[in-house]
Structure 1
Amino acid sequence: MIVVDDDPVDVRFVLRAFSDAGSTLDITHVPDAKAASDRLDAEVFDYILLDINMPGTSGVDLLKRLRSQPRTAVTPVIMLSSSSSMTDINRAYESGANAYAVKPSTLSGYREFAEGFTRFWVDVAVSP
């Protein structure tokens, strides 16, 4: 899984939550859309966890690019954002997001997210 997020605190929460949840996912972090594009052009990831609000290219703009590329057109993209704005949520889904979650405010909330993510995306969903 690749995590695209410019906030180092949120990234630490995500990494710790997946570790605490016993996840066996290999997790790669990149801080922005440019770094994500470079990595995604060179490597294949099973899941993309993508922040919507980043400096430079936004998560939604990156998502549109990913959906236009054969290599990432059907890779599950889960938006994880601090925004609960219906405008942002609708834009993300209209641009091809598979899911949208608002960033939790606590480590235990991140752990619940990681556990739910693993239960659904890893244990239940059939990926392309």
Structure 2
Amino acid sequence: MNKKIVVIDDDQFDISMLRRGLEAAEIEIDVVSVIDSRSAVRVIRDENPDLAVVDLSMPHPNGFVVLAEVRADVHISHIKALILSGSTSVHDERKAHQLGANWYRVKPETLHGYRLLAAEISEFAAAAPRLE
């Protein structure tokens, strides 16, 4: 069974680049994308992914709120979470970790950068135990 990630990002281009990075790196991970952050927690609960990739800068709720809601939900609080952001702010990274993010990365600017990120995501998702 392939590992599964849910990507929450209001920017279709960023979702597309992550998918292209995974494909270019020949990594087989099922990707479920969510562009409406209001439905993010429901989709994560329904999909039970190995990893949730959450964009920080979204309209309400933003990535911090989504992450806090995931960590507060006993059914999905165990799911690994990556905050993927355009922000290089140490404050944002610290806050993400305080809210329970397992990992924080700045969004790459090139396809090559997304390939490298895809390889990291693959390793991270592979390390996540699959809970059914």
Relative to the length of structure 1, the TM-score reads 0.92
Counterpart pick for 1:111 among 115, 121, 126: 115
Letter in 2 for 1:54: M
Partner of 1:76: 80
**Mapped contact 2:80–2:128 kept (Cα < 8 A):** no
Letter in 1 for 2:29: L
Q: Say whether 1:38 aligns with 2:10.
A: no
SS at match of 2:108: coil
Relative to the length of structure 2, the TM-score reads 0.89
5 Å-filtered alignment, 1:114-125, equals 114-122=118-126, 125=127
Which blocks of at least 5 consecutive residues in structure 1 are unaligned? none
Q: Which runs of 4+ in 1 moved over 3 A?
A: none
User: What percentage of residue pairs aligned between the two structures are identical?
Assistant: 32
Partner of 2:25: 21
Q: CA deviation at 1:116?
A: 1.9
Counterpart pick for 1:100 among 99, 104, 108: 104
Q: Matched residue pairs, number? A: 126
Which blocks of at least 5 consecutive residues in structure 2 are unaligned? none
Tell me, in whole angstroms, the C-alpha distance in 1 between the residues paired with 2:78 and 2:125: 14
SS at match of 1:10: helix
